[in-house]
Amino acid sequence: MQKIITLRTSHRNGLYDITPEVAGVVRESGIKSGIVSVYARGSTAAIMIQENWDQSVQNDVVTLLGRMIPGGIWEHDRQDNNGDSHLKAGLVGPSETIPVVEGKPGLSTWQNVFLCEFDGPRNQREVVVTVISDK
């Protein structure tokens, strides 16, 4: 089963929790055991599994990547001023694969799935969620 989640982002850089949407696709699929793949469409967005206890970890991720990969110094910036966005997305990666356990994403208590926006705000970001049964 495959579904596309769409969302709007409100900041140039930010993490957006999509765990409920991913869990909804898994639930809708009806599988009890297998994997769910979560893939960000676009070369300036990524997918990350991270803690969602409070906003501090997400803020720290954005701060770390901003310090590691500052804007305005890359060759690609001459085209559309988002060289850092491409590098951040490439470093984090476009997808995560999560086991499906007893009909739910096999995340721990503190794990959530995030779309990482590095070139926002965007009116529409797409995330492809693919559920595969082990049978």
* Mean pLDDT by groups of 10 residues along the chain of 135 residues: 98 98 98 98 98 93 97 93 97 98 97 98 98 92
CA distance 21 to 17: 9
Distance from the Cα of residue 101 to its chain's centroid: 21
Q: Omega of the bond prior to 121 within 30 degrees of 0, cis?
A: yes
Nearest Cα neighbor of 91 from 26, 38, 39, 45 is: 45
Rounded to whole angstroms, the Cα distance separating 93 from 10 reads 21
Radius of gyration of the chain (CA): 15
Residues 6+ apart with CB under 8 A from 93: 46, 47, 48
Per CATH, domain 7-133 is 2.60.120.460? yes
CA distance between the termini of the chain: 13
User: Which H or E run includes 131?
Assistant: strand 122-133
Instruction: Enter the pTM of the model.
Output: 0.95
